[in-house]
Amino acid sequence: MDKGLLAYLLIPLLSAVLIPFAARARRRLADVIANVTLLAGLANLAWLVLRPSMISGGFADIPGDGLTLLLVGAVYLVGFCVTFFSAWFMEDGTPNRQAYYSLILVSVAAMTGVVSATDFFTLYVFIEVLAVTSFALITTDDSGRGVEGALKYFFLTFPASALIILGISILMLTLGSLSFDNLRIFMASGVPSSGPVTFGAALMLLGFLIKSGVAPFHTWTPDAYQGAYAPVSAHLAGIVTKISGVYALIRMAALLHFFDGRALALSDLLMFLGMLSIAVGAVAALRQKDFKRMLAFSSVSQVGYIVLAAGLGTPLAIMGAIFHLFNHATFKTVLFLNSASLEKSAGTTDMEKLGGMEHAMPWTSWTSVVALLSTAGVPPLSGFWSKLLIILALWQAGLKTYAVLALLFSIVTLAYFMVMQRKVFFGKKSRAAEASAEVSAPLLAPAVLMSALIVALGLLFPYFYTYVRMVAERILI
């Protein structure tokens, strides 16, 4: 465990315990406690990273390996956006507020635990905690679809847990230790009989692939995201599945030394699955009729980019993967929160029934445009830079086919999002658009904040690049 960031794990856990007691009489207190906890954490993190002295020093004094801190930041950011949004989104009575916020905070604590773990067993424990909170969160509003999504999530990802624990045991037997450092040193030493260790790692990787929703293990994502309670979808798609699966993939890619040609077969496999995921997600998203379901497939596709880059494992690719992970958290949160706003205002996310919503909901429409352009990698938004890094890394490594395909599918990304924007927001005013109005300012605030962040990260890319390069250097030593 990285002790420096322990407070970010414990405080939300404490708040989660506190909420059911403190907010028993006054239910709104649950909102306040959750929001204050996360906002305080966010402010603290911002002070830690964004001090002028820190920026001018090239982020050299960041504690730990930097990746942890960045992802704790992302966790808190998305968590705060979701709780803030939920505070105004939830109607009185349903669902159970105290439980909801407690679960969110526990999941934030668990994610902090995941990213600050330094050995595989701790990682595994926190990932399981996270999975349990996620099942519960998906069913927040007790609807049939929520339960179906939660069940699918549970039953389709339980093999993952089994595979991870199997992999951990093999690793324990062969390596004698579960700490990241031991694996790193083992891989760096180039011992010839690395077979069993690699196989153990391969099993763990498979578990994380399933948890990330990479094709062909993606089948749970559309149902889980679509069925989940609206703000929970944003939480789940924006950060939870990324931390419980994709983060571990990047971490292991670095530990397994893909960049010096170790475990080549695994690296190839990972890249192939990444590309497959990009293709399957994008192609499936093209014909979706439901906004949330389209976003779910888009997530599959975007996760594919991260896995592709992680599988390549060169420093540039790792930078691209980390950056894309962070960007994905920003733009996917915006889009899912906007889908929640649509659901609240127009009562549906079915794209056939929507249309011309920009007249009724201009802010929602335009934040969606920013987010979708960033997803598709249009300059100067942040998504452009991360995709550029990934494609450049692929090209440099001589994988021109993958580079060209990655570029091609980002055009498909633009295509399906344009279809979405056209069907939902632009065009003639539908009956739904006439009946609905823009949601209130507090509901818009998270989306606007995230959109601003997308633009700012795109424009201030040099600073962010310095940070990400520092991270890549530290975790690839």
Partner 1 sequence: MNLILIPIFLPLATAAAVLLISERTKYLKEILSSAAALVTLLAAADIFLQLPDVQQLSLPWIGSGLGFTLRADTLSAFLLLAVSLFSAAISIYSFSMPDKGSSKWFFFNLLMTQAFAAGAALADSLLVMLFFWEGLLVFLYTFIVLSQDSPGARRTAKKAFLINGVTDLCLLVGITITGYIAGTMNMSEIARNKLTLDYGWSVFAYVLLLIGAVSKAGAMPFHTWIPDAATDSSSPFMAYIPAAIDKLLGIYFLARASVYLYQLNGAMSIVLMTLGAFTILAAVMMAFVQKDYKRLLSYHAVSQTGYMILGIGTLNPIGIAGGLFHMINHATYKSCLFMTAGSVERRTGTNDLSKLGGLFRLMPLTGIFFLIAAAAISGIAPFNGFFSKELVYRGALDSGHPLFFWAAELGSFLTLASFLKLGHSVYFGKLPENLKNTKEAPFSMLLPMAALAAICVLFGFGAHLPLERFIGPALDSIGVRHGALAGFEAGKLYFLSVIVILAAVINHMLGLAAGGGKASKASDHIHYAPVLKEAYAMAENRVFDIYELGMDKVVPVVAKAMFSVDRFFDWVIDTAPSSTAGFFSEASERFHNGSYPLYLALTLAGALVYILLAALNGGLK
Query: Smallest distance from the beta carbon of 197 to partner 1, in angstroms?
Result: 10
Residue that has been written with the tokens 């465990």 in this structure: 1
Nearer to partner 1, 189 or 193 (CB): 193
Residue that has been written with the tokens 């990802």 in this structure: 157
- Token pair of 323, please? 């950056």
Query: Smallest distance from the beta carbon of 204 to partner 1, in angstroms?
Result: 11
Nearer to partner 1, 108 or 206 (CB): 206
Nearer to partner 1, 294 or 439 (CB): 294
Query: Smallest distance from the beta carbon of 77 to partner 1, in angstroms?
Result: 31
Which run of H or E residues covers position 234?
Answer: helix 230-235
Nearer to partner 1, 224 or 306 (CB): 224
Query: Smallest distance from the beta carbon of 148 to partner 1, in angstroms?
Result: 8
Query: Smallest distance from the beta carbon of 286 to partner 1, in angstroms?
Result: 4
Query: Smallest distance from the beta carbon of 149 to partner 1, in angstroms?
Result: 10
Please give the full DSSP string across 377-406, using - where no structure is assigned: T-TTSHHHHHHHHHHHHHHHTT-HHHHHHH
Residues 229 and 235: their CA atoms lie apart, in Å, by 10
Tell me which residue of 339, 108, 137 sits closest to 243, measured CA to CA: 108
Nearer to partner 1, 70 or 263 (CB): 263
> Can you list the pairs that 448-453 forms with residues at least 24 positions away whose Cβ atoms lie under 8 Å?
448/363, 448/367, 449/81, 450/81, 450/330, 450/331, 450/333, 450/334, 450/337, 450/367, 450/371, 451/334, 451/366, 451/367, 451/370, 451/371, 453/77, 453/330, 453/382
Nearer to partner 1, 152 or 469 (CB): 152
- State residue 179 phi and psi, 5-degree precision: -75, 150
Nearer to partner 1, 67 or 206 (CB): 206
Nearer to partner 1, 30 or 270 (CB): 270
Query: Smallest distance from the beta carbon of 419 to partner 1, in angstroms?
Result: 11
On the CB side of 358, CA atoms within 13 Å amount to: 14
Query: Smallest distance from the beta carbon of 154 to partner 1, in angstroms?
Result: 11
Give contact residues for partner 1 (rule: CB under 8 A): 151-152, 155-156, 159, 163, 193-196, 198-199, 202-203, 206, 209-210, 216-217, 219-220, 222-223, 263-266, 269, 273, 280, 283-288, 412, 415
Estimate the share of the chain in helix, then strand, then coil, as percent rounded to the nearest 5. 80, 0, 20
Longest Cα–Cα distance in the chain: 69
Query: Smallest distance from the beta carbon of 188 to partner 1, in angstroms?
Result: 17
Nearer to partner 1, 56 or 193 (CB): 193
Query: Smallest distance from the beta carbon of 216 to partner 1, in angstroms?
Result: 4
Residues 159 and 156: their CA atoms lie apart, in Å, by 7
Nearer to partner 1, 196 or 380 (CB): 196
> What residues form DSSP beta bridges with 290?
350
State the angle between helix axes of 120-138 and 195-212 in degrees (0 to 180), rounded to the nearest 10. Answer: 20
Helix (H, G, I), strand (E, B) or coil at 225: helix
What single-letter amino acid sits at 452? A
Nearer to partner 1, 180 or 409 (CB): 409
Residues 152 and 232: their CA atoms lie apart, in Å, by 16
Query: Smallest distance from the beta carbon of 257 to partner 1, in angstroms?
Result: 14
Residues 42 and 263: their CA atoms lie apart, in Å, by 38
Class of residue 315 by CB neighbours under 10 A (exposed 0-12, middle 13-18, buried 19+): middle
Residues 472 and 62: their CA atoms lie apart, in Å, by 13
137-150 as b/e: b if 16+ CB within 10 A: bbbbbeeebbebbb
**Per-residue DSSP letter, 4:** G
Query: Smallest distance from the beta carbon of 245 to partner 1, in angstroms?
Result: 14
Nearer to partner 1, 199 or 366 (CB): 199
